[in-house]
Amino acid sequence: MSLLRVTAADAAAQLDAFDTIIDTRSESEFAADHIPGAVNWPVLSDAQRHLVGTEHKQASDFDARRIGAAMVARNIALHLEREAGDKPKHWRPLLYCWRGGKRSGTLAWFLDQIGFRVQLLEGGYKAFRRAVVGELRALPPRLELRVVCGRTGSGKTRLLQALAAEGAQVLDLEAIARHRGSVLGLVPGAEQPTQKAFETQVWDALRRFDARRPVFVESESRKIGDLRVPEALIERMRRDSRCLHVEMPDAARVSLLLEDYAFFARDPDWFCRQLDALIEARGRQLVQRWQLLARGARWSEVYAELMREHYDPMYLKSMQRNFAGFADAERVALADGGEATLRRVARSLLYPTTASAT
């Protein structure tokens, strides 16, 4: 049989058509970023690649290839036994490695000899990465974005989740970034993805949207934690998109923050360390006051003061400066962050005629 090859552009356009997408690179390469939905069948592990590289430097290319070939053969045998043993004859996998195709081509040859309908990604991950970068420039201008704005604690993320539950198209950048977008935004136990992985996941979300329907997205800074929002997306959000201005009473905002950031109450020292980042902007004396309140478990006071003296003063200036549609934003009133309130408001945004009739 002859192996079929697919370009990166064609693969990106039909990812869901493959039965399995197999990344043959090492585990660390896979962890840094991979094609959405791919599984990792390393032809050489990180440790083995290091060993082969050392042999190449200290001995010869021939010796390195001989050692590497034996490792590759053993690894492929294990993959065939463990992962391919139950695959039917019509199984259609897509294989890729970094660029040259040696690792993916070797595994593909064995699968092809068995009789599977194997396809190889031309140019490997590197070519796919180029395709993703190009699509991240091309897709945002095609979408109608509705940017959900609102002060800290006003329920923007919860409203997005309620909209998604009602069938709306939602791009939750903070969920993809695993960060809530502020100095206190790091999610416990969740490490942020690499920049490349973040961009791949954003692309994967964008490509699935129906351009005939609006996409709801939260107003974000150019960076979410350590990650940069793709330039074409942030520009589309800021220059050419309608805004929704979510408003919630201050007391309800504090209650929402107490719920969403309850983990800080279990580790006040961690909270205080995060606040150190505000010393330059707000002064050591004020930050130390907030840290003292936190260590005294006076969380309502901490959040109320952070809102009033740090987040709220920055919010209006940032929105007016960065989002062209903010001045004419539709006002969205949330009495609280409860499920019933969010569901009602989400429905009113998606079905305004029905909501007004009821």
Question: Half-sphere exposure (CA, 13 Å, Cβ side) for 158?
Answer: 25
Catalytic residue among 97, 149, 243, 272: 97
148 touches 217 (CB < 8 A): yes
Q: Environment class of residue 135 by beta-carbon count within 10 Å: exposed (0-12), middle (13-18) or buried (19+)?
A: buried
347 touches 354 (CB < 8 A): yes
Both structure tokens of 152 = 């800290």
78 touches 116 (CB < 8 A): no
Whether 97 sits among the annotated catalytic residues: the reply is yes
Task: Point out the residues that are catalytic.
Answer: 97
